[in-house]
Amino acid sequence: MKLKKHFDSKTVLLWITILLFFSMYIIGMVIYHDRGFANLQNFLNLFISNAGLIVISAGMTVVMITGGIDISVGSFVAMACMILADLMENKGLDASTAIFFVLIVGIVFGFVQGWFISYLKIQPFIMTLAGMFFARGMTAIISQDMINIQNKTFLAIASHKIYLPFGGYLNKHGKLILPYIYPTVIVALIALVIIFWMLRYTKLGRNIYAIGGNEQSAMLMGLDIKKTKLIAYTISGLCSGIGGTLFCLNTCSGFVEQAKGFEMDAIASAVIGGTLLTGGVGNVFGTLFGVLINGTIQSFITFQGTLSSWWVRISIAALLAFFIILQSIFAFITERRKGL
Amino acid sequence: MNQQLVRLTKKRLFMPILCLCIVLLINVIKTPDFFKITVREGVFYGYIIDVINRASELVILAVGMTLCIASSAGTDISVGAVMAVAAAVCCSILAGGQVSVTAYQNPYIIAVLAALGVAVLCGAFNGFLVANLKIQPMVATLILFTAGRGIAQLITNGQITYVRVSSYKLLGANIPGVPLPTSVFVAILVIIIAQTILRKTSLGMYIEAVGINAKASRLVGLKSTAIIFLTYVICGLCAGISGIIMSSRIYSADANNIGLLMELDAILAVALGGNNLAGGRFSMTGSIIGAYTIQALTTTLYAMGVSADQIPVYKALVVIVIVSLQSEVVKAKFNDIKKKHESRKTLVATVEVQ
């Protein structure tokens, strides 16, 4: 009975995800053991290169739990990078002001989209599709050319290594090499924990789950659906702002084509992590595993060396399709059980 | 007079035609020779011809998209990627695996049929997810939305495949002796076929019935799953046709750029045509007018010196305005205002009588 409780259709997807991640990672360790796949640093690189994606996917999870979706995040990341680059390089602002500005823009962007979706009842997909094109176009309006960031403070934050006190190894010269992370990873994990706490232990979080579970009964219970949805999209906007900044710390440049298909990665991470597309079910730690799977596929392709980068997109899309189909099968089974 | 005006505004196609007229009017003011058509070497040239020509792909996409939206209340956002896939298949078969050829390596008809076949397969994949697995259309088509360009890259080996054969360019240009671009005729042909099928068979009515209430229509004996599936297949086919036209225009398969950002345009065309994005009743004519309006808008923006990268901003704003005006909340507000106005009128009338 207890086992059954742990393996109902809602959590079983999460278990599949965790299992998939570990088995993929172990397979990687076996195939590429001579190229350092098993190093702790390689594992940490998953977090380093995907810090922005972790925060954005967490925001996406919040929106998806309400039963909505936000596909503007990828374009917003490009816009955030461009704004940062433009403010620091062309307008001469200092790094902290620029980052603050981007976060405000993120909140406003999310708020406006959320307002249209919740108060005018426009389908989330259409609204955020428009938002996606708007942000991508705005990026081009700010600057058509690529801007490289040379701001000293920004670069200093970007390249500040934080060494871990354990897990090091001796190199050829007998020098101890410690594994490291960047500050972006810490920011990403803090954001993840805050969202986890918000979803799990606050009234707002419970409202978000309630709306996604059944909007009508949530309304009958007296929940303010419009306000909750508005807050959810604002959170997603803020997460896009933070995520965009972290992404920018990784790339240190802004250009129009940046972060293409990022929204797909974020949605795929949430879905693979067990968030139901119909809303009501989801967990940001599942999403974290979704991001890690995404990163593992990417590192597979880099380690292989002969495969092209579009294989990443194709394999993520295939995984997404697999999980979506799995979800609908589980939904079908639950419905049937209820019918009996 | 006033009543006639009211009756006119209530017509379904009033808004789409009004939008088109506004865009054209702006053009007449901005560029006086907008309607001027010149003949050079037996071929028509001019802004208007350019709009009609360039809109062909969008018109064909809009036909498919209208059916998808009508039947499933969801949009197919993979159309741009499917266009790229179809173009990649067509060009790589014609080029027989080489990067650039000056003569067909395989028969033209086989390449086109294969490309359309693959496009139909893509549509069937979307349709299967939406109709049989009941996945939200937008999420289901999101899979091909990004994977599609990757698949197209894979087919062309990551290169731009050129087919430098003059007969390949005919579809995107003019057939010698015919003053209008070929793509215009293809678009018209697609419209005629679609309209014939929808009018002469009951398919159009079935699609509307499924879109209004899939469950109810299943209970009266319609195979709602099959109908939704069919609309996605048609949408895939339409995307395939427009992909081939577009690749013919640039006589190559550019996986990164063919059909880029076309999905929003197609949705916008349907919305501009006065169709409800929540499914149900649809007007194909409206969507087609919408498609021409968008192309006119794009051409106008280009003429005003806006770069291709910046155009999405304006289109996004147009989408937001149109969709907001369509939303139930805004409509209800308008009705409230109208009712208040009318009740005040009757009140005034009764007071006057007394």
pLDDT in tens, A199-245: 999 999 999 999 988 888 888 888 899 999 999 999 999 999 999 99
Q: Where are the beta strands (DSSP E) in chain A?
A: 147-148, 162-163, 169-170, 176-177, 180-181, 253-254
* Contact residues, chain A, for B330 at CB < 8 Å: 120
Summary mean pLDDT of chain B: 87
Q: CA B83, B130, B259 angle in degrees (round to 5)?
A: 15
The partner residue sitting opposite B143, judged by closest CB among A278, A321, A331, is A321
Please identify which residue in the block is written with the tokens 């036909």: B63
Task: Give A265→chain B minimum CA distance, Å.
Answer: 10
B319 at A interface, C-beta within 8 A = yes
DSSP code for B130: I
CA gap B307, A106 in Å, rounded: 25
CA gap B117, B110 in Å, rounded: 10
CA distances from A318 to A50, A173, B151, B158, B326 (A): 20, 44, 12, 19, 35
Q: What is the pLDDT of residue B1?
A: 58
Nearest CA in chain A to B128: A325
Query: Of A77, A110, A64, A79, whose CA–CA distance to A269 is shortest?
Result: A64
Q: And the tokens for B145?
A: 């939305």
ipTM, two decimals: 0.81
* Contact residues, chain A, for B158 at CB < 8 Å: 308, 310
Q: And the tokens for A171?
A: 């190199």
Nearest CA in chain B to A70: B139
| Helix/strand/coil for B141 | helix
> What backbone torsions phi and psi does residue B268 show, to the nearest 5 degrees?
-60, -40
B320 at A interface, C-beta within 8 A = yes
Please identify which residue in the block is written with the tokens 């801007």: A147
> What backbone torsions phi and psi does residue B281 show, to the nearest 5 degrees?
-65, 140
CA gap A210, A223 in Å, rounded: 9
Task: Give B141→chain A minimum CA distance, Å.
Answer: 10
Q: Where are the beta strands (DSSP E) in A199-275?
A: 253-254
Q: What is the pLDDT of residue B225?
A: 92
**Burial status of residue A159 (CB atoms within 10 A of its CB: 0-12, 13-18, 19 or more):** exposed
Please identify which residue in the block is written with the tokens 């076949």: B117
Q: And the tokens for B213?
A: 């209430």
Please check whether residue B279 is in contact with residue B72, taking contact to mean a CB–CB distance below 8 angstroms: yes
CA gap B100, B163 in Å, rounded: 6
The partner residue sitting opposite B315, judged by closest CB among A133, A267, A328, is A133
* Contact residues, chain B, for A131 at CB < 8 Å: 316
A264 at B interface, C-beta within 8 A = yes
CA gap B230, B350 in Å, rounded: 56
* Inter-chain residue contact A313 with B142, CB threshold 8 Å: no
* Inter-chain residue contact B323 with A318, CB threshold 8 Å: no
| Helix/strand/coil for A254 | strand
Please check whether residue A135 is in contact with residue A109, taking contact to mean a CB–CB distance below 8 angstroms: yes
Full DSSP string of B280-298? SS--HHHHHHHHHHHHHHH
Q: What is the pLDDT along chain B (354 residues), one digit of tens a residue?
A: 567 777 766 667 777 788 788 888 887 887 777 777 888 777 888 888 888 899 999 999 999 999 999 998 888 989 999 999 999 999 999 988 788 888 888 899 999 999 999 999 999 999 999 998 888 888 888 889 878 988 998 898 888 888 888 888 888 888 887 888 899 999 999 999 999 999 898 898 999 999 988 888 888 888 899 999 999 999 999 999 999 999 999 888 888 888 887 887 898 888 888 888 788 889 899 999 999 988 888 888 887 888 888 888 988 888 788 778 777 788 788 888 888 888 888 888 888 777
B77-103 burial string, b = 16+ CB within 10 Å, else e?
bbbbbbbbbbbbbbbbbbbeeeeebee
* Inter-chain residue contact B314 with A129, CB threshold 8 Å: no
* Contact residues, chain A, for B140 at CB < 8 Å: 324
* Contact residues, chain B, for A136 at CB < 8 Å: 309, 312
* Inter-chain residue contact B312 with A134, CB threshold 8 Å: yes
Low-confidence ranges of chain A (pLDDT < 70): 1-10, 339-340
* Contact residues, chain A, for B143 at CB < 8 Å: 317, 320-321, 324
The partner residue sitting opposite B329, judged by closest CB among A119, A136, A313, is A119
CA gap B91, B22 in Å, rounded: 39
* Inter-chain residue contact A141 with B313, CB threshold 8 Å: yes
Query: Of B61, B67, B63, whose CA–CA distance to B207 is shortest?
Result: B67
The partner residue sitting opposite A264, judged by closest CB among B142, B314, B315, is B142
The partner residue sitting opposite A267, judged by closest CB among B142, B278, B314, is B142
Q: Which amino acid is at B261?
A: L
Nearest CA in chain B to A326: B133
* Inter-chain residue contact A133 with B312, CB threshold 8 Å: yes
Q: Which amino acid is at A256?
A: V
Please identify which residue in the block is written with the tokens 């088109």: B20
* Probe site for chain A from B155, B313, B314, B331 (most A CB atoms < 10 A): B313
Q: In chain B, what percentage of residues exceed pLDDT 90?
A: 31
* Inter-chain residue contact B142 with A140, CB threshold 8 Å: no
Task: Give A138→chain B minimum CA distance, Å.
Answer: 6
Task: Measure the N-to-C terminal CA separation of chain B; round to a whole number of Å.
Answer: 29
CA gap A209, A198 in Å, rounded: 11
Interface of B with A in 111-150 (CB under 8 A): 129, 133-136, 138-140, 142-147, 149-150
> What backbone torsions phi and psi does residue B253 show, to the nearest 5 degrees?
-110, 100
Please check whether residue A240 is in contact with residue A56, taking contact to mean a CB–CB distance below 8 angstroms: yes
- HSE, side-chain direction, 13 A CA sphere, residue A27: 12
> What backbone torsions phi and psi does residue A170 show, to the nearest 5 degrees?
-90, 130
* Inter-chain residue contact B324 with A69, CB threshold 8 Å: no
Sign of torsion over alpha carbons A63, A65, A69, A71: positive
A119 at B interface, C-beta within 8 A = yes
CB pairs under 8 A between A and B: 125
The alpha carbons of chain B give a radius of gyration, in whole angstroms, of 22
B154 at A interface, C-beta within 8 A = yes
Q: What is the pLDDT of residue A1?
A: 43
Q: Which amino acid is at B331?
A: K
